[in-house]
Structure 1
């Protein structure tokens, strides 16, 4: 009897444990589903805002109603960059979860790197009335080894997050460096974080600190930041309390190079053509807008370009013109771009260069064959035209013809463009002093904002602002600095 009772009780205990396990699994599934719903709502909001700007300005330009074409183009470019960063964040999470993320190791100018990072976020802090402070020791190594993109991503995520959740006071980036150990502390006077949220904020798609619409974001920044810090072999800690602000501390080993690296060569002028015989390019993509964009970029450089919107047309055109290069999308509707590349390789041999262009990435739903595929290389969309040119030059062994930079004489005090009414000259001089500082660190967006501020002072400032914009658009920072200095001299 006692034995049967013991068995019955043991069975009851196992059943209760099983039920508890099922309840926990159910709760976890419901929490994950809620997080996914919040994430999708946040992503929709983050996508719609810049997409609306792109769509609206594109319609104005199409109708010919855009009075400031250059300004519209800048808004479109910045909105596209925002969307690209959002996509990159999603891809970063995917790479981290799949163990596919790799790091580079470069020698970077450490003090300059920190100054540039603060300059990038200064306007964001100023717009909320916050002080953004960089605290660093006088003696920092001139160079350290790091992956600049990922280190910048970590620090920008932390500082931008601190600015987002701080409504008054300050945000400080405090840096220390001892025995090749770099310590970065991001300290804010914001709303703080409750103890029960301290671990949750590092989970993907989780957001704390108010309703989703109140503070923009999709809940990926801190998850990516923690993952990147761990991949770089470091640690991240949080100290916070509600109403008392937060302190995120990151520690990373950043070694110093044994010898200072050589300075990079000055940036060359814009590509206007190429040397040697005429080259033929075939573009294969089911997106007509993409075909028109790449064709419109390559043809003015002297390439003969033919386009196709499907595999059969692409193969037929290639057979007809015998191209030097094929740029082929991976996903051609229901067709597989890798199969097209294999057929091109079989028909035209190794002399034909094949570059795959795709927004899917190498981990896409249409992966390359196990052998690596028949293409020569791969470029992710969206891509910069300069990156495409680098790949084309590498594949075809080409040498570009570049525009010669027209030398500009520095502006002198008393020039017509720098002479301003006395009532606005001191204010303009203050903006110009800031422009001089920004020129030294190459912070283009902040320079644009300062030029816009000068233009808004008075109609008489318009010629100066236009001349400054022209210098900035051609990236003639020396001429821009000359103008800024001349304005300050006139105002003195």
Structure 2
């Protein structure tokens, strides 16, 4: 069967996903960027301004000392858990959903984590859209409801195209963004050194000094950003093969643009505390958490008044666009991935771009920004349960216990529908931590819900793997193709095979033998409604 005789759903899926290999393995024939370009593009996606609001909210509530400790604790947890995920995404050229399938969740079990990730993208789209709307109101007098709509609609034409367009957007705008971000702060600190001491001595509304409970409450808000590693991997999956020649550059880009994103995020959160304290007396606590107020307060110290508002608006809009194209893109992948697996229909990624943005717009119009920290604290429990479970499966079950196959698997027919290792760990971890968060186990333990989420996931993931003896990871160990998945250097093989359904050639890791004869690509196998191509157990 060739592409002209393939069913319409396969033809549509083939045409669209070849733009940037949506929902499937990213082949080396497409991955022509250098490690540095991929890393820079991935880091461009962390230009979001929510960090400034998050840091400001924690600092004004709990004081600078507690805020800095909370930011540090969260950064360590996010870096440690993000490293194995980033490595797998870059080494094997698959996104976080594909990693999750073979890391304890199973082919259908990871649908729940795809929905969690999609939730992350629309929550943070709404956060960034709200910040842009605040900037439009401040600079242009635009009503918030209209600013929310503008900040949503402007993203649609930018995110229709895939990774090639996004990589260019991020690379071209990084220098201007860095200049507007860093220069004013350096100037302010040099001009007003006392601002640093005022920042460090700020005690927050509680004024009770250092407190473990306050640190954990603050860390819980910061840990909601743990899902950001999924968006970083959406870029890192396009890393070139690791070779002896590019080994140093490859590792540098993977570490900095993978788990290293949190180092830049932590700095921005600390700066958010600094700027909020600096403008607090002038604008009040409610406005001090808004980045537009923070940056105009700083810009006023170094430039003519007529230039302050336009430059602050440029910074806010630029930051919002840089992150929200990534939020919209990654969210559409997550929704499409889940829908395609469950229904075996491919509706097109653009459909879920619009779905994701519609949900985000509703959140903005409901004034989610006013209770942002509460939303993030609740969401962080689910995000941590998912990411820590996958990271533990990779680090412990694959490399230490060797109960989980070290080589990632994501193809239908090769995996069990549900693997209890990841699903049980995720459900128990998120449910217990949410119960703690809502005070069901008492007020004394309530601030420690993030710790509960991490500990339960770390303990249960290997425990369930031991109890099940790892039997639910692989439904098959042979995909019917004699050539190994990896080449002699451990990189995914570049050999191409023709798909019997869509007629397109795909590289070895994306293919399995078809039960009906020939070879079939992973996406056509996902949309096989009759199961005629699925290999028997």
Q: Normalized per residue, which structure has more strand?
A: 1
TM over 0.5: no
> Which protein is richer in helix relative to its size?
2
TM-score by length of 2: 0.21
Higher relative contact order (CA 8 A, sep 6+): 2
Tell me which structure has the larger Cα radius of gyration: 1
